[in-house]
Amino acid sequence: MIRAFLGLLIALPLFGADYLAQIHGIKPIDCQIIQQVDENYIILVEKSEVLRLGEQYASFRILDENPDNKLYLLVFNDGYDNSQLNKHGIILEQYDDCVLFQTSEDQIRALNNYKLELSRVWLQPIAYQPDFGELPQLTDFRIDTLIEEMVNLVSEDSILASVLRMQHMYTRYTTTDSNEYVAAPWIRDRLIAYGCDSVYLGYFSGTYGPNIIGIKKGLVYPQLSKYCVIGGHMDDVPSSGYAPGADDNASGTTAMLEAARVLRDYDFEYTIKFIGFNAEELGLYGSHATADTAYAHGDTILGVFNYDMIGYVQSVNRDTMNAHYTVAVPGCSLFVCQFYQAVADTYTQLKIRRVRSTGTSGSSDHASYWQRGYKAMLGIERILCPGYHTIGDTVGPSGFNNLPFATKVIKTAVATLAKLAVPIHGNPGVHESPFFSKGLGFEISPSVGQEFAIAFHVLRSGNIDISVFSSLGQRIVDLANGFYESGIYQRTWVVERSIPAGVYFIRCQQDDEQVSRKVIISY
């Protein structure tokens, strides 16, 4: 529980500030930047710094005073009349696709009844981190038959059943009992059934429902500090009464769940986290907690795939998904424009419209990871369904209206996640075989690690060769080579650090008979 609440604790202001201010066009190197909206840098300023900043930056201006105990939102209005917002707070600044809005907690429920997307502006510095790298080689996008096999397991029936089940929960609004005691346990139970190594409810507030997090451990890199993420928010609106939320966002949550279902019988080098984010509609609260916790622990996240509204199309944009990325995070454009695009082209031919941002702001959970310097993308339908944020967001014409499109998006989600996590293959040239052959027996313990105990039983005297092969069939190390009388022998292989982590095969051969065992070297 301590870990689950950490993200919220970190969100408290790191220091007292006298003003909320903004600098446009030039990234200030001597200020605490709390949000970047395109080329606009929102900062916290002490009174003693006002004169200097005004002289140093021509675009510097104060937006509000005494910000420490105030609540700020970026409100993405999608054509909504901003004058209606004045009933619920104060517009401090207008940007191209959103406004900076000062309001209070008791007004958020009212805001959730409009067609608005909210993103909390936390009074803490955002992080500009170096590129973590680790993307698979961009030159190697030949079809991997194992990934192709996974993609083909994605089921329209499974997807539709999941969306309908969530729609029929009546509401998943984050403060309701239905969210905490119906929706969250159902998602948790699905992840358990789909074979996650651990599943837990991540509470970050005493008021809102929890995040649901499932972990599938990597075999080569099982550390919980280095992983891939796929997620979608599971809460919905309106804030009162019936809130079906089929497209927004049972569809995105289902992408996460279907990926967990499909990948359950496969092994990967890297750990995968499957996350159902909560309280997204209030201002990205749940993903803020998970991203902050990852940052506080120094986690390496290879990439975040966030899906939000992927079930609606019009004839003019059929089979087209918007993929949002930012150039403010090192490696994020490469992650989306090359890696994601290349995998989609290889396995599903999903049409992708890339949407570029120059800041760290956004209207869905990917933005929480941008603000902590992690590579993340948003997959979303090109035109939002007309029923979103209303009781009309059901499986049907105004909500989730195109199951084949959603299925293609989810197939792409499975392919890109599998590619990033690196699937573990058997070797077509060196196969595992039964313990006993005609003349020898062979066993290794453990199967994962960096030191292996090898036992072999020679049933008839003869020459024995024990060697280690890479997954590509290359001989790496000779462990035994010579004549052995019948009997039981033991060897220990302590792996040298010069041998990379990964999948290897240890083969014991006598004349034309051989027995092989797969091991995974993990440091």
**Same-domain status, 216 and 305:** yes
Total number of residues shown for the chain: 523
SS3 340: helix
**Same-domain status, 313 and 456:** no
CATH of the domain at 364: 3.40.630.10
**Same-domain status, 82 and 198:** no
C-beta of residue 299 within 8 angstroms of C-beta of residue 225: yes
Domain boundary among 421, 451, 485: 421
Residue 134, pLDDT score? 60
**Same-domain status, 412 and 288:** yes
Count Cβ atoms below 10 Å from residue 466 Cβ, excluding itself: 21
In a domain, 85, yes or no: yes
In a domain, 210, yes or no: yes
> Among residues of the chain, what percentage have pLDDT more than 90?
70
Which helix (H) or strand (E) segment holds residue 158: the answer is helix 156-167
**Same-domain status, 109 and 218:** no
Residue 430, pLDDT score? 43
Amino acid at 360: T
Residue 443, pLDDT score? 84
Reported confidence tier of residue 78, pLDDT bands at 50, 70, 90: low
Reported confidence tier of residue 7, pLDDT bands at 50, 70, 90: very low
**Same-domain status, 50 and 20:** yes
CATH of the domain at 501: 2.60.40.1930
pLDDT tens for residues 318-362?
779 999 999 999 989 888 988 999 999 999 999 999 999 999 999
In a domain, 3, yes or no: no
Asked if residue 3 has pLDDT above 80, the reply is no
In a domain, 219, yes or no: yes
Asked if residue 151 has pLDDT above 90, the reply is yes
**Same-domain status, 149 and 192:** yes
Residue 438, pLDDT score? 45
In a domain, 358, yes or no: yes
pLDDT, average across residues 39-67: 94
pLDDT, average across residues 3-26: 66
CA distances 211 to 26, 172, 180, Å, are 37, 13, 10
Return the bridge partners of 170, or none: none
Residue 338, pLDDT score? 87
SS3 285: helix
Domain encompassing residue 447 = 440-521
**Same-domain status, 380 and 493:** no
Residue 511, pLDDT score? 82
In a domain, 149, yes or no: yes
Residue 299, pLDDT score? 93
SS3 string, 4-66, reads HHHHHHHCCCCCCCCEEEEEECCCCCCCEEEEEECCEEEEEECHHHHHHHHHHCCCCEEEEEC
pLDDT, average across residues 40-68: 94
Residue 222, pLDDT score? 78
**Same-domain status, 24 and 112:** yes
Report residue 277 as tokens.
């984010």
55's CB contacts (< 8 A; 6+ apart) are none
Reported confidence tier of residue 131, pLDDT bands at 50, 70, 90: low
Asked if residue 470 has pLDDT above 80, the reply is yes
Residue 523, pLDDT score? 76
pLDDT, average across residues 438-453: 79
**Same-domain status, 215 and 249:** yes
In a domain, 357, yes or no: yes
pLDDT tens for residues 272-322?
999 999 999 999 999 999 999 999 999 999 999 999 999 999 887 677 999
Residue 522, pLDDT score? 82
Asked if residue 447 has pLDDT above 70, the reply is yes
In a domain, 132, yes or no: no
**Could you give the angle at the alpha carbon of 34 between the alpha carbons of 31 and 37, nearest 5°?**
105
Domain boundary among 363, 388, 421: 421
pLDDT, average across residues 226-239: 96
Q: Residue 420: name the closest of 273, 200, 295, 249 by CA.
A: 273
Identity of the highest mean pLDDT range in 109-118, 189-198, 508-517: 189-198
Structurally, the chain folds into a number of domains equal to 3
Residue 13, pLDDT score? 46
Residue 310, pLDDT score? 98
Tell me which DSSP letter residue 348 carries. Answer: T
**Same-domain status, 331 and 229:** yes
User: Between 220 and 406, where is the model more confident?
Assistant: 406
Reported confidence tier of residue 86, pLDDT bands at 50, 70, 90: confident
Domain boundary among 421, 452, 477: 421
Per 3-state DSSP, what percentage of the chain is helix, strand, and coil (rounded to 5)?
A: 30, 30, 40
Residue 214 and residue 199: Cα distance in Å, rounded?
4
Average pLDDT, the chain: 89
Asked if residue 477 has pLDDT above 90, the reply is yes
pLDDT, average across residues 510-515: 82
In 221-284, which residue ranges form alpha helices assigned H by DSSP? 251-263, 280-283
**Same-domain status, 83 and 178:** no
C-beta of residue 466 within 8 angstroms of C-beta of residue 481: yes
pLDDT tens for residues 29-50?
888 999 999 999 999 999 999 9
Asked if residue 61 has pLDDT above 50, the reply is yes
Return phi, psi of residue 323, to 5°.
-120, 110
pLDDT tens for residues 415-441?
999 999 999 886 444 444 444 444 567
Residue 133, pLDDT score? 58
Reported confidence tier of residue 461, pLDDT bands at 50, 70, 90: confident
Reported confidence tier of residue 140, pLDDT bands at 50, 70, 90: low
